[in-house]
Each structure stands twice: as structure tokens, then as C-alpha cells.
Structure 1
Amino acid sequence: MSTNHNLINKENDKVTNKLLTSAICAVLATAGFTHAMAETQATENKQITDQNMMKSLKGMERCYGIAKVGQNDCGTASHMCAGESTIDNDKEAWISVPNGLCNRIVGGTTKPPVSKS
């Protein structure tokens, strides 16, 4: 009888382990999906904010590569807000300048940097 009891306990342990493994996998998958969705939403919100900002600045253009530390006008791939650039002349950081002025500034370009991904 003891042998049968041990076999039943082992089977119960296997079932319990499978259930726990499945539950953990489900939690991890949900967390990963939630993170991906939040990241996607943040990117979309940033793009909308950037577009709205440029619409409100008629006669202005983005000039990349000339902002001093902490003087950028909006977020980049490495940060989400204005004033958060950490190096001078960061190729991703930009400031708004009057149309036509950017290409007259050394290091300035109206073309965003090519994504590294």
C-alpha cells in the first residue's frame, strides 16, 4: 500500500509541477506582451507629439546635430523629453531653427540619423 501511495504522490507532484510551470510561463508571456505594448504606445505618443510640435512651428525645421547638452527640443531614441541630451552635437538630438538655416550651420542637418536597428 505504501508503494501505491508513493506513486500517487509522485504523479500529483508531476501534475503540480506542470501546472506551476504553465502558470509561470503565462505570467511571463503576459508581462512581455504588456511591456511591448507599453513601449509601442510610448513610441506612437512621441511621434504624435513630435508631429504636433512641428505643425505648431510653421516656418521652422528640425536641425539635427547642433544642440548643446540639455538644449534639445524633443526626445530621441535614447530619451523621451526635451532638455535631456547628454552630449553636445548629438546626431539624434535636434532643435527647431528657421527654415533654411540648418544647412548653413556646421554639423547641422535636416535629415534624422539612420536608425541603428
Structure 2
Amino acid sequence: MPVPLYQAKAEFFRTLGHPVRIQVLELLQAGPCSVRDMLAAIEVESSNMSQQLAVLRRAGIVTATREGATVVYALSSGDVAELLRAARRILTDMITGQEELLAELRGADAEEPRSG
């Protein structure tokens, strides 16, 4: 029996739901990158990086190619980069909305007389 689409989407987002995996994907938006370069850019143990890359590779979100002794990772699709850009836009909108609400709240606080 096939997995319902909503369940497959939930599993996909769970796969993305780790800070190191997000950092890797953000880094790979600029293009293919070796594990050594990723470790230089992301402060994480080598074993943890390998584990997170394996999760992304099994899910088909990144690809790995061997160039001699070096393994180079890349995003499997430009859609992954677009998803990350969309998440950034959504978060920016959310934070902007919160800042506007905070400004309104501060304005209301300034208008209320202080008792004391």
C-alpha cells in the first residue's frame, strides 16, 4: 500500500529537521563541496557530519561523487535550494510581523499611565 502524500511530506520535512543538515544544504546552495570544506565551514565532529550526510544522501536530497580520495556532495535538485530560499522568505515575514507587533505593544505601553 503506498504511503499517503501528507505522510511522505512529513517524513521529508523530518529529514530536513536537523541544524547540521540545514547548514549543509545552505552551504551546498553555492555549489558542490567536499566533506573537508564542509567541516571547515560547519563546526561539528567529523563523525556527526558523516552521519548527517548519510541521512541526506539516503533521502535523495544530496548526491555524492568520489573524486580520487575526496567525496564531493551536491544538491540533488535546484528545488532544494528554492525550498531553502522560500523558508528564508517565510521566516523573514514571520519575524517582520513579530517586530511590528512588538512595536505596537511598546507603543501601547508608552501610552498607558504608570501606576506607582
The alignment's TM-score, normalised by the length of structure 1, stands at 0.32
More helix by share: 2
Greater gyration radius: 1
The alignment's TM-score, normalised by the length of structure 2, stands at 0.32
